[in-house]
Structure 1
């Protein structure tokens, strides 16, 4: 039988597919000691990263590949939403869809509740306790609050435990000391887009630094889309969000400091379509609260003790009638989709030097999660889970150019039992500006609360009329074993940074969902189940296939003072799926090639222009999504700074998706709206 995926959209290999590996090999052969032109001041010191091993270190020494999306790239991209910034990391896939929050995946395997990437804000996990995904459009901070994003491009369970499975995203906010005074930011444009923000900062120069930012944004991401093949309309989406974020640092002494962050977000989402009898036009309410408190003390010049507490709360609400056509009549009953989740997280970490060539890190973490929802779990009781972990690493320098990193996390979770995630990495410095990395290890993804306890229902009184997701049998954790070979260089003579890697990952016990209809599911139906539509599918979770992922990716980052900057990222992925297929979408969930290119050009008179290009080959979003065709997206931003030298005052014009609407998440259903807006930032 012919594969409908390849017959409908034959996969072709363009010039980029043939030339990419040759370019990669050629760049790997560059002599890092070559001299050309004047050194770039930016590379006078190699920037540090924090996320690869929980320790500040050079990317040349990091045991895992790290991409840094810095403040200059954030501003030049023109993106207003934090999740969009991940388009700048090689291999990342980003989608909006109007039936829920945005979704982000890396190297495929993504769906409406993508949950194989750990996302943190200043080192604290913000994945939802319900699905394990991230409610990107309701994070209690804005793009203006972000200093940089560190992206670990690969499994990092050795540092962060379960669910740091395919990667780690650490959103690092701007320190209060980086700004002073007050600022007002406004962006306004088509599709009803409005974004107003204010930033207030302490006077600076004292032991207490603080900043308060607040904003309100209104936007339409999807207009109703008419699908000619079926003759119906699909969902639209418009959002309103009010966000506030407070950050403060108190320097108790030269060696000791306290930090506090509080973030809140609330707003409405208008979603649905007349064609969906169980998802008609309606309004959903979303609320989020993040509270983070940290204490840090330098015991001596090479020893640091830190303690952090984090609280995350989220609430969602909304109710609308579920309608079912029954011949010439219709049946209707109200349904509520309310849910509430909380997380408490406490962590202690100690870093020290154990000898002239040996350093160590040791930490413990405790987490409790609580959730309740009659709609999602069939009960109004709170469901509770606990999670404890011990993590640590040793870094040994047996030879000056060689670093050996041995790290791991031992943990116990209510949904997964005891797990150990180890990693062994070798970093060999070719010279002071370049290094090779070889790492191998194991990572796990534990089932989420929904995958462990789901009983998603629509009820009419005490009668169950429809079942969505549910659980029949306990699930095992997904497991991945990986091997990664990388090359990192900061070629200061060229003004060039280069990061390349090839990798192979072996997946076992992949968690997927399957559908069944009334009377044909693996277990008997509940006695109080009277389906409004017996032919309506419900879904259950199970461990399915083992498969292998092979890939290569690189990033080139070139800059020249007074001219500008160019950042090119490229990824090539192949998923080898065993026969027989349990889900044909698995091998097709990763595009063969993805590309991102950000060009930043400085002009006289404090003008700057930037062009973003984002390409993906054909691929599938799984479980709720569908085919996304080959896409080439272009963004353009033109800005002019004004005011005192060094100020951030500017006026800008930004066009996102110059080619217009494009298919997103599901080609038949959804067309993402382009944006055109004017932005002004004034500080005083």
Structure 2
């Protein structure tokens, strides 16, 4: 099996091919691949430990969302694909980017999940979250998604805290010709895209793709009390280029670059605090890789990437008539990262990987950092992994990352895992480790102000002093198997996680006069305000006076749960992918948020059914349900609910061409509560699509 992964460099960008398919390709040539579907059953994953391996051998639980699932789901937004992963929740809200959470702890900024595109991190340096709608690629560009369903700091360092998502794009070498994709639906929805590829015999394999889309996600929702809540309509344009050049039999050079540009129409008509506005966003990236293969299972990779994000969001606050206060919500952020990695197999029983990287992050946000200019920090890390097979059927995996973070200093994230093979295609797994999340630039430096001239009239978010990084100690036991004769894949695990130094924002108050009495029990005074602080008279008269929200370490808690996924496939009939997760959070007395225990629903269900029909028709249905839960901070209670999606498609033209017409209905039951039951109702969507190649 070891020689199977030696040829993975033949497939750039980590295209989803099975280990045995790679072996057949290397030994018998490409003609053998189409002749034997027997070799379609064992995929490889690249994200679990940074080394190519079967999910059965991985030291952590991994879910693969393959191209068939991506198409059958009917999803047009990448974040929605996470609904297919056991234990994951997805929510959108009208005032910001969608949020993705694993096993709870979700709020407006999903900064506890590391998200990558082809191995490069795309989390924003400002908040640490992922701006899903601004990613410079589309679902049509994806070959597969690999999701590590738990902490993985041993492989990726700080901020791989709750999960790791790796979006793996299609390799230019796997396609030829051109393709157009067009989606049109009700309420002005459209999503038009194209892909153009170089010729198969060219010296450089390349692909250029682009798209332009518009969608109404939220209308102004009027709640039971007559209050009008925000709306959101997004428009985005995306363009990206991917190219690879085989410089020699050993050397390969890769280039990827992309841009996303668009607007978000948000706000409430006539509202003083959330007026109508148009937020403008742009994100760019450049990703360079050089890969050298020395021998079987011996490879050196060097990669550099740059990303920058720009947000232009000018508000006007008219809460204090007759004053009209301009609010500068603009931000500019960037990240530069250089990384080198070497992996090899020393013998049939020893395999190892080692690497190092350096990363610089910077952000400028005048209102968020009180006009302190550009804030930046440089971090470095060493990482490695050793896999040892002391006896037949047993693998011992030791991994870890030592990181010197610009805020938190040195942190070491270790992992210890045992995999015992019951059969060649099934194994028991025991894994334990420690992972960290460091404060984002906002959490560690926030001093969000509203100014009139030289005076600070309001203080919102503020950074606490001497915050410690969040830490999680995690242990899991799992079972993964592939029953080829049944067409069945199974993944079961139970886990326990202990969290300390959880970071949250808590309300604090400023004394209106120095001689005022202490605050009631459970409340706290804010740290001294910066010079020039002169609150509005309105705020001085309001209740307990001016207030801020202070980031600080807010307690410890435990999380226990279990999950399973079943993937059954029968050629000519179709496929069923079912997952279920149960989660329990037990917060300590030092966690002040009363909604914390219910931030994870007690159960989460995902079902994707794909059915082959006569005449080249295919139908699919998605069902996604969660029990009642609470999104934290800007979010709130969301009731128990299920969402149904339906898709009916017919392929035409040459077999394998991908030509298809389809009709998709998302959220068949109508509008549904999302992120905050009292404020947001996500819109359903009905559209038709055409996929045409030549």
Same-fold call, TM cutoff 0.5: yes
Q: Please, which of 427, 431, 434 is the counterpart of residue 435 of structure 1?
A: 427
2:388 is the counterpart of 1:392: no
- 1:626–1:537: structure 2 CA closer, same or farther, 3 Å change rule? farther
Deviation of 1:458 (Å) = 2.0
- 1:192–1:513: structure 2 CA closer, same or farther, 3 Å change rule? same
TM-score by length of 1: 0.92
Q: Which residue of 1 is the match for residue 3 of structure 2?
A: none
Please, which runs of 5 or more residues in structure 1 have no aligned partner? Answer: 1-39
Q: Which residue of 2 is the match for residue 354 of structure 1?
A: 346
SS across alignment from 1:297: strand
Q: Using the alignment, how far apart are the partners of 1:66 and 1:275 within structure 2?
A: 48
Give per-residue Cα distances to partners, 1:308-359, cap 9 Å, x unaligned. Answer: 001010000021210114xxx5422111111000000000000012233111
Q: Using the alignment, how far apart are the partners of 2:285 and 2:90 within structure 1?
A: 24
2:133 is the counterpart of 1:123: no
Q: Which residue of 1 is the match for residue 294 of structure 2?
A: 299
Deviation of 1:645 (Å) = 1.5
- The equivalences for 1:128-527 within 5 A come to 128-229=124-225, 231-274=226-269, 276-325=271-320, 329-519=321-511, 521-527=525-531
2:648 is the counterpart of 1:644: no
Q: Using the alignment, how far apart are the partners of 2:640 and 2:652 within structure 1?
A: 40
Q: Using the alignment, how far apart are the partners of 2:285 and 2:335 within structure 1?
A: 10
Q: Which residue of 2 is the match for residue 582 of structure 1?
A: 592
SS across alignment from 1:290: strand
Deviation of 1:184 (Å) = 1.1
Which range moves more in the overlay, 569-578 or 467-476? Answer: 467-476
SS across alignment from 1:232: coil
Q: Using the alignment, how far apart are the partners of 2:451 and 2:39 within structure 1?
A: 61
Give per-residue Cα distances to partners, 1:290-322, cap 9 Å, x unaligned. Answer: 110000000112210000001010000021210
Q: Using the alignment, how far apart are the partners of 1:655 and 1:338 within structure 2?
A: 36
Q: Using the alignment, how far apart are the partners of 1:562 and 1:414 within structure 2?
A: 55
- 1:590–1:551: structure 2 CA closer, same or farther, 3 Å change rule? same
Contact map agreement 1:43 1:490 (CA 8 A) in 2: no
Contact map agreement 2:554 2:591 (CA 8 A) in 1: no
Q: Using the alignment, how far apart are the partners of 2:535 and 2:686 within structure 1?
A: 46
Q: Using the alignment, how far apart are the partners of 2:660 and 2:42 within structure 1?
A: 29
Q: Which residue of 1 is the match for residue 21 of structure 2?
A: none
Deviation of 1:228 (Å) = 2.1
Q: Using the alignment, how far apart are the partners of 1:629 and 1:436 within structure 2?
A: 36
Deviation of 1:517 (Å) = 3.7
Q: Which residue of 1 is the match for residue 663 of structure 2?
A: 653
2:37 is the counterpart of 1:41: yes
Contact map agreement 1:223 1:671 (CA 8 A) in 2: yes
Give per-residue Cα distances to partners, 1:176-205, cap 9 Å, x unaligned. Answer: 122111111110101211111111110113
Which range moves more in the overlay, 637-646 or 455-464? Answer: 455-464
Contact map agreement 1:234 1:275 (CA 8 A) in 2: no
Q: Using the alignment, how far apart are the partners of 2:591 and 2:148 within structure 1?
A: 30
Deviation of 1:253 (Å) = 1.6
Which range moves more in the overlay, 355-364 or 647-656? Answer: 355-364
Q: Which residue of 2 is the match for residue 25 of structure 1?
A: none
Q: Please, which of 65, 68, 72 is the counterpart of residue 72 of structure 1?
A: 68
Give per-residue Cα distances to partners, 1:134-168, cap 9 Å, x unaligned. Answer: 00010000010011000000110000000001110
Q: Using the alignment, how far apart are the partners of 1:201 and 1:374 within structure 2?
A: 43
Contact map agreement 1:317 1:337 (CA 8 A) in 2: yes
Q: Which residue of 2 is the match for residue 55 of structure 1?
A: 51
Q: Which residue of 1 is the match for residue 604 of structure 2?
A: 594
Q: Using the alignment, how far apart are the partners of 2:78 and 2:577 within structure 1?
A: 19
SS across alignment from 2:654: coil
Which range moves more in the overlay, 368-377 or 455-464? Answer: 455-464
Deviation of 1:61 (Å) = 0.6
- 1:444–1:349: structure 2 CA closer, same or farther, 3 Å change rule? same
SS across alignment from 1:475: coil
Deviation of 1:42 (Å) = 5.8
Contact map agreement 1:341 1:372 (CA 8 A) in 2: yes
Q: Using the alignment, how far apart are the partners of 2:604 and 2:425 within structure 1?
A: 28
Q: Using the alignment, how far apart are the partners of 2:676 and 2:535 within structure 1?
A: 28
Contact map agreement 1:43 1:495 (CA 8 A) in 2: no
Q: Using the alignment, how far apart are the partners of 2:466 and 2:636 within structure 1?
A: 28
Q: Using the alignment, how far apart are the partners of 2:313 and 2:63 within structure 1?
A: 38
- 1:479–1:172: structure 2 CA closer, same or farther, 3 Å change rule? same
Count of residues paired in the alignment: 641
2:109 is the counterpart of 1:113: yes
TM-score by length of 2: 0.91
Deviation of 1:632 (Å) = 0.7
Which segments of structure 1 move beyond 4 Å, counting only runs of 4 or more? 42-45
2:553 is the counterpart of 1:561: no
C-alpha RMSD over aligned residues: 1.3
Deviation of 1:681 (Å) = 1.1
Q: Using the alignment, how far apart are the partners of 1:106 and 1:558 within structure 2?
A: 24
Contact map agreement 2:583 2:603 (CA 8 A) in 1: yes
- 1:226–1:90: structure 2 CA closer, same or farther, 3 Å change rule? same
Q: Using the alignment, how far apart are the partners of 1:503 and 1:171 within structure 2?
A: 25
Which range moves more in the overlay, 70-79 or 522-531? Answer: 522-531
Contact map agreement 1:232 1:275 (CA 8 A) in 2: no
Deviation of 1:498 (Å) = 0.3
Q: Using the alignment, how far apart are the partners of 2:62 and 2:468 within structure 1?
A: 29
Which range moves more in the overlay, 266-275 or 616-625? Answer: 266-275
- 1:419–1:275: structure 2 CA closer, same or farther, 3 Å change rule? farther
SS across alignment from 1:324: coil
Which range moves more in the overlay, 185-194 or 629-638? Answer: 185-194
SS across alignment from 2:58: coil
Q: Using the alignment, how far apart are the partners of 1:580 and 1:591 within structure 2?
A: 21
- 1:663–1:537: structure 2 CA closer, same or farther, 3 Å change rule? farther
Q: Using the alignment, how far apart are the partners of 2:200 and 2:596 within structure 1?
A: 52
Contact map agreement 1:76 1:637 (CA 8 A) in 2: yes
SS across alignment from 2:597: helix
